[in-house]
C-alpha cells in the first residue's frame, strides 16, 4: 500500500503547492482545489436560483398579476427547481466530498484526479447552456422541474433541446463524480481504516454515489426518449402513436425518488459529524446509522409511484406504494433518535455549525412528517399538486439539505482557511435564516391544505394573507444569505487563527492535519488504530 | 501499471458497466411497463385483437357495453358512437360502428386509441376487427361509419355487469407516413 500511494502522487510538478494564475483552476487535479470550485459554483447557482425564487415570491405577494407574465412565471418555477437541485445542492455535496473524503480516510487525493477535474468543468458549460434558454425564442423550459410529457414534448418551447443536452451533461458530471468517490473510498483508505470505522459522512457519500450510478443513467434515458419523441418521430410518450404519458412519470420518478435521497443522505452524514463534536459524546448507534442509510437507499427504489397516486393506479398499487413509503419513516426515525440520543446528557455548546445542525434535526423532521401525510394515498388526492407539497419538499430541502451544507461550511471552514469564523455574524446569519425559512414555508402548509395549487402566478383572494407572509419570509431568508457570502469571504481573508483540532470535541483524521489543511495532505498514509 | 492503478481501473470499469446497464434498464422499462399493463389489464390497454374461436354464447347472463368517442385536444372531427350502449351475452359476436366526419377543407389522418373501463375487464373484451387497427384518412367534408366487431369473453367475472369502451381520436396528419406533404399546410384550420 505504501509504495502504491507514492506512485499515485506521480504528478510531481504539483507536489510543492498550487500553480499560479487561472491555470491553477482550469487544470487542477487537486481534490481541495476542485472541492473549492464545486463549492463556489454551487454558491453562485444558489444565489441565481434564489433570485428566481424571490421573483416568484414577489409575484405571489399579492393576488393578480403584478410583475411578470404567466409564461415567464412558469419559466421561473422550472429554472428555480432545476438550478437548485442540479446546480446548488448536488454540486455542494460533491464539493464537500472532494474536500473532506480524502482527508477523512487518510488518502492523499481522490482516486481519479483527472476525471475529477473533468467532472467539475462540465458543469459550468451545462448550466450556461441551460440558463441561456432564458434568452431564446419561445423562452426557457416552462414545464416544471419534473418536465412531465407531453408538456415537455408536444407542448414544449423549442429550447427544450438545449435543456435535454444540459441534463445529459449534468448527468455525466454526476456519474463521474460518483465513480470517483466510490473508487476513493474503496481503494484509498489508510491502513487500519476499516469500513466500519469510516466517518459517517464518508459512509453516507458512498451510498449516495451508488444511488447516483443507479439512477442518473435512467434520467439520461428518459430525456433521450423525450429527444427522440421530439425530433425523431418516436412515440414513447405520445398516445396517438401507441405510447403513454404515464410511462414518462414512472421512468422519471424511478430516477426522481432516489434523487431525493441523493440530496439528503450526505446531509445525514454531515449532521452525524457535527452533533457528536458539539455534544462532546461519541455518536450514538454508529452501526445502526450505517444500516439506516443503507435501508433508506434500498427502499428509495420501491416507492416512486407515491408521486403519482392520482394517475389512476390500481388499488393494490396505491396500497403497496403507500406502505412502502411509510416504511422509510422507520430508518429515518432511527437516525433522528440516534441524533437526539447523542445529545442526551452531552456537554453541548451552541456554535454556529451546531445551531444549523439542531435546526436541521427539528425542521427536517417536520418535513418528514408532512411527507408521511402525503404518503397516505387516500389523503394525497387532496394534497396532490397543492402548496402543501411545496411546503413539504422545501422543508426537507431548505432547512434540510441547504442547512446541512451551511452547517458543513461553518464546521470545516476553519480547517480550509486556517481562520475561525466570526461567531457573532454566523449566529446572526443562522437566526435570520431560521426565522426566515419558517415564515416562508410554514404558511404554505395552510394554503396548500386550503386548496391552493402549485405553479400558478395568480390565486384566489382567500390565500392572500398567507402568501404575503410567505413572501416577506422569503425576502428575509434570501437577503440573509448574503451574510453567508460575507461570512465566508471574511473567514478566507482573516480572523482568529484556528488550531489543528479547531473544535474542542472534534474527532477524526481531518482534525489531525494542520489548519489550513496543506495543499497535499496524507502523502504518507496515517495509521488508524 | 501499479497494483492500485489496476484496482482503480477494474472498479471504474465495473461501475461504468453498471451505468450502461441502468441506461439500458431505463429503456427496458418501456416494454416492461407495456407487458405489465397487458398482463394485469391495468391502464385499460386492450390487447385482445384479431380472430377468436367462435363459441356458443352464454345466454344465462348479459352485460352492457357502453361506447364513448372523444376528440383529443385540437382535433376538429365530429366523432361519436352510433350506439351509445348495447346489451350482449358473453361469447356473442356483435358489430357496432362509430361515425366520423372531417369538417375541414383538407385531408386529415386520424388514429383512434382505445381504452376499457373498468381496467379489470380489459382483457375480456376481444376486438375481432376495429377501425382503431389502422389510421383513418378522410378528405375535407368527407364522412364515414367505422365498424367495430367484438366479443365479450365468457370468462368475464360475474360481478362486472357494465363495461365501457372508449376511443380517443388523435390528429396524426403531420406525423403520418403519407402526410408529409400535408404537414406544410396550416396545421389547424378553424371549424
Q: A93-134 pLDDT, tens per residue?
A: 999 999 999 999 999 999 999 999 999 999 999 999 999 999
**pTM for the predicted model, two decimal places:** 0.88
Are A166 and A147 in contact, with CB atoms under 8 Å apart? Answer: no
Judge if ipTM > 0.90: no
B162 vs B47, more confident: B162
Alpha-carbon distances of A147 from A76, A254, A256, A400, rounded to whole Å: 13, 14, 11, 24
Question: Tens digit of pLDDT for each residue in A404-417?
Answer: 999 999 999 999 99
| Residue B20 in contact with partner chain A when CB distance is under 8 A | yes
Q: What is the pLDDT averaged over residues B111-129?
A: 84
Torsion-angle region of A460 (φ positive above 0: left; ψ -120 to 50: alpha; else: beta): beta
pLDDT of residue B179 exceeding 70, the answer is no
Strands of B85-88's sheet in order across: B85-88, B63-71, B162-171, B108-117, B136-138
Contact criterion met (CB < 8 Å) for B26 and A5: no
Q: All 3 cell numbers of residue A529? A: 488504530
Q: Which residues contact A518 (CB under 8 A, 6 or more apart)?
A: none
Is residue B188's pLDDT more than 60? no
User: Going from the N-terminus, what domains does chain A have, and what CATH number goes with each?
Assistant: 2-11+35-512 (1.20.210.10)
| Per-residue pLDDT band at B191 (split at 50, 70, 90) | very low
pLDDT of residue B47: 58
CB proximity A221 to B under 8 Å: yes
Average pLDDT of the residues in A333-350: 96
Using pLDDT thresholds of 50, 70 and 90, give the confidence band for residue B46. Answer: low
Q: Which of A478, A339, A493 is nearest to A416 (CA)?
A: A493
Tell me, what's the pLDDT at B189? 33
Spatial separation of the C-alpha atoms in residues B93 and B57, rounded to whole Å: 8
CA of A221 vs chain B CAs: smallest distance (Å): 6
Mean pLDDT of A291-307: 96
Give me A496's grid cell: 482568529
pLDDT at B53: 66
The pLDDT value given to residue A16: 64
DSSP state of A419: B
Residue A239 contacts residue B113 (beta carbons within 8 Å): yes
The predicted-structure confidence for A139-173, as pLDDT tens digits, reads as follows 999 999 999 989 999 899 999 999 999 999 999 99
Q: Measuring CA to CA, how many Å separate B13 from each of A173, A214, B16? A: 17, 15, 5
Cβ–Cβ gap B8/A183 under 8 Å: yes
* pLDDT of A267 higher than 90: yes
Q: In angstroms, what separates the C-alpha of A79 from chain B's closest C-alpha?
A: 25
For residue B187, the model assigns a pLDDT of: 35
Say if residue A373's pLDDT is above 80. Answer: yes
Whether B31 has its CB under 8 Å from any CB of chain A: the answer is no
Q: Do A241 and B168 touch (CB under 8 A)?
A: no
pLDDT at A238 over 90: no
Are residues B175 and A221, on separate chains, in Cβ contact within 8 Å? Answer: no
CB nearest B26 (choices: A242, A251, A314): A251
Higher pLDDT, B122 or A382: A382
Q: Which of A3-7, A20-24, A55-59, B124-128 has the highest mean pLDDT?
A: A55-59
* Average pLDDT in chain A: 94
The beta-carbon neighbor of A239 closest among B18, B29, B168 is B168
The terminus-to-terminus CA distance of chain A in angstroms comes to 16
| B48-100: pLDDT as tens digits | 666 666 667 788 888 999 999 999 888 899 999 999 999 999 888 889 999 99
Give dist(CA A407, CA A412) in Å, integer. 9
CB atoms within 10 A of CB B84: 11
Q: What is the pLDDT of residue B113?
A: 86
Are residues B175 and A241, on separate chains, in Cβ contact within 8 Å?
Answer: yes
Nearest to B4 among A8, A221, A241 (CB): A8
Band (B36; pLDDT cuts 50, 70, 90): confident
Residue-wise over A222-234: b if at least 16 C-beta within 10 A, else e?
bbbbbbebbeeee
- Chain B residue with the nearest C-alpha to that of A5: B4
DSSP label at residue A141: -
**Which of B26, B39, B75, B174 to mutate: most A Cβ within 10 Å?**
B26
Q: Which of the residue ranges A136-145, A322-331, B120-129 would you say has the lowest mean pLDDT?
A: B120-129
**What are the residue boundaries of the structural domains of chain B, listed by start?**
3-40, 63-183
Is A7 part of the contact surface with chain B (CB cutoff 8 Å)?
Answer: yes
What's chain B's Rg over C-alpha atoms? 23
CB A26 within 8 A of CB A121: yes
- pLDDT band at residue A453, thresholds of 50, 70 and 90? very high
What confidence score (pLDDT) does residue A241 get? 80
| A236–B22 CB contact, under 8 Å | no
* Interchain CB distance below 8 Å, B19 and A213: yes
Report the residue of chain A nearest B23, measured CA to CA. A217
pLDDT for residue A516:
93
Across the range A447-452, mean pLDDT stands at 95
Residue A214 has its nearest CB partner, among B22, B33, B175, at B22
Given a cut of 50, whether residue A7 has pLDDT beyond it is no
* Helix, strand or coil, per DSSP, at residue B154: coil
- What is the pLDDT, as a whole number, of residue A4? 42
Q: Are A173 and A122 in contact (CB under 8 A)?
A: yes
| Distance between first and last Cα of chain B | 73
* Residue A61 CB-density burial (10 A; 0-12 exposed, 13-18 middle, 19+ buried): middle
**Once rounded to an integer, what is the mean pLDDT over residues A200-221?**
97
**Catalytic residue positions of A, numbered:** 80, 109, 145, 173-174, 257, 259, 261, 272, 306-307, 332, 335, 454
Three-class secondary structure of residue A318 per DSSP = helix
Q: Which CATH architecture has domain B63-183?
A: Sandwich (2.60)
Query: Is the pLDDT assigned to residue A12 strictly greater than 50?
Result: no
Question: Three cell numbers at A413?
Answer: 471552514
Amino acid at each position: 500500500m505504501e509504495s502504491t500511494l507514492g506512485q499515485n502522487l506521480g504528478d510531481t510538478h504539483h507536489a510543492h503547492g498550487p500553480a499560479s494564475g487561472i491555470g491553477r483552476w482550469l487544470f487542477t487535479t487537486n481534490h481541495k482545489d476542485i472541492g473549492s470550485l464545486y463549492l463556489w459554483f454551487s454558491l453562485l447557482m444558489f444565489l441565481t436560483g434564489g433570485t428566481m425564487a424571490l421573483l416568484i415570491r414577489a409575484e405571489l405577494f399579492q393576488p393578480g398579476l403584478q410583475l411578470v407574465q404567466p409564461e415567464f412565471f412558469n419559466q421561473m418555477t422550472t429554472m428555480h427547481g432545476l438550478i437548485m437541485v442540479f446546480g446548488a445542492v448536488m454540486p455542494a455535496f460533491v464539493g464537500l466530498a472532494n474536500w473532506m473524503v480524502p482527508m477523512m480516510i487518510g488518502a492523499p487525493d481522490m482516486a481519479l484526479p483527472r476525471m475529477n477535474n473533468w467532472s467539475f468543468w462540465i458543469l459550468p458549460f451545462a448550466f450556461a447552456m441551460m440558463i441561456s434558454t432564458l434568452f431564446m425564442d419561445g423562452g426557457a423550459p416552462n414545464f416544471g422541474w419534473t418536465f412531465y410529457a407531453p408538456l415537455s414534448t408536444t407542448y414544449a418551447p423549442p429550447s427544450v433541446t438545449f435543456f435535454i443536452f444540459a441534463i445529459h451533461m449534468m448527468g455525466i458530471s454526476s456519474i463521474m463524480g460518483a465513480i470517483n468517490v466510490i473508487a476513493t473510498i474503496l481503494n484509498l483508505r489508510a491502513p487500519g481504516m476499516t469500513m466500519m470505522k469510516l466517518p459517517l459522512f464518508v459512509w453516507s457519500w458512498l451510498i449516495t454515489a451508488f444511488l447516483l450510478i443507479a439512477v442518473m443513467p435512467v434520467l439520461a434515458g428518459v430525456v433521450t426518449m423525450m429527444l427522440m419523441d421530439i425530433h425523431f418521430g418516436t412515440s414513447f410518450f405520445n398516445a396517438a402513436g401507441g405510447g403513454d404519458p404515464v410511462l414518462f412519470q414512472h421512468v422519471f420518478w424511478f430516477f426522481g425518488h432516489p434523487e431525493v435521497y441523493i440530496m439528503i443522505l450526505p446531509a445525514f452524514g454531515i449532521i452525524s459529524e457535527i452533533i457528536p463534536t458539539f455534544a462532546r459524546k461519541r455518536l450514538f448507534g454508529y452501526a445502526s446509522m450505517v444500516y439506516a442509510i443503507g435501508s433508506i437507499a434500498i427502499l428509495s427504489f420501491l416507492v416512486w409511484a407515491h408521486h403519482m397516486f392520482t394517475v389512476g393506479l390500481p388499488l393494490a398499487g396505491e396500497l403497496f406504494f403507500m406502505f412502502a413509503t411509510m416504511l422509510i419513516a422507520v430508518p429515518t426515525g432511527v437516525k433522528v433518535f440516534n441524533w437526539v440520543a447523542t445529545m442526551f446528557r452531552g456537554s453541548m455548546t451552541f456554535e454556529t455549525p451546531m445551531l444549523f445542525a439542531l435546526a436541521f434535526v427539528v425542521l427536517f423532521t417536520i418535513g418528514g412528517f408532512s411527507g408521511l401525510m402525503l404518503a397516505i394515498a387516500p389523503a394525497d388526492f387532496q394534497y396532490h399538486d397543492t402548496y402543501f407539497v411545496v411546503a413539504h419538499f422545501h422543508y426537507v430541502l431548505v432547512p434540510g439539505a441547504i442547512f446541512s451544507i451551511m452547517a458543513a461550511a461553518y464546521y470545516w471552514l476553519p480547517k480550509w482557511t486556517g481562520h475561525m469564523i466570526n461567531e457573532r455574524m454566523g449566529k446572526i446569519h443562522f437566526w435570520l435564516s431560521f426565522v426566515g425559512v419558517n415564515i416562508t414555508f410554514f404558511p404554505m402548509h395552510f394554503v396548500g391544505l386550503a386548496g391552493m395549487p402549485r405553479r400558478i402566478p395568480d390565486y384566489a383572494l382567500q390565500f392572500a394573507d398567507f402568501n404575503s407572509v410567505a413572501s416577506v419570509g422569503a425576502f428575509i431568508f434570501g437577503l440573509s444569505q448574503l451574510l453567508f457570502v460575507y461570512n465566508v469571504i471574511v473567514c478566507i481573508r482573516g480572523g482568529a487563527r484556528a488550531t489543528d483540532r479547531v473544535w474542542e470535541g472534534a474527532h477524526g483524521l481531518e482534525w489531525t492535519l494542520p489548519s489550513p489543511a496543506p495543499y497535499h495532505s496524507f502523502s504518507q498514509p496515517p495509521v488508524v488504530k | 501499471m501499479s497494483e492500485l492503478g489496476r484496482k482503480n481501473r477494474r472498479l471504474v470499469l465495473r461501475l461504468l458497466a453498471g451505468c450502461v446497464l441502468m441506461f439500458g434498464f431505463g429503456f427496458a422499462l418501456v416494454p416492461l411497463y407495456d407487458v405489465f399493463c397487458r398482463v394485469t389489464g391495468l391502464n385499460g390497454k386492450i390487447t385482445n385483437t384479431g380472430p377468436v374461436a367462435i363459441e356458443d354464447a352464454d345466454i344465462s347472463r348479459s352485460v352492457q357495453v357502453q361506447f364513448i368517442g372523444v376528440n383529443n385536444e385540437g382535433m376538429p372531427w365530429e366523432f361519436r358512437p352510433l350506439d351509445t350502449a348495447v346489451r350482449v351475452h358473453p361469447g356473442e359476436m356483435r358489430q357496432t360502428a362509430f361515425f366520423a366526419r372531417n369538417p375541414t377543407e383538407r385531408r386529415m389522418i386520424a388514429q383512434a386509441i382505445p381504452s376499457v373501463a373498468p381496467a379489470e375487464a380489459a382483457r375480456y373484451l376481444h376486438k375481432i376487427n376495429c377501425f382503431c387497427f389502422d389510421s383513418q384518412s378522410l378528405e375535407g367534408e368527407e364522412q364515414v361509419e367505422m365498424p367495430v366487431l367484438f366479443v365479450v369473453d365468457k370468462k368475464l367475472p360475474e360481478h362486472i355487469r357494465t363495461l365501457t369502451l372508449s376511443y380517443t381520436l388523435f390528429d396524426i396528419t403531420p406525423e403520418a407516413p403519407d402526410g408529409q406533404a400535408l404537414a406544410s399546410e396550416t396545421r389547424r384550420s378553424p371549424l
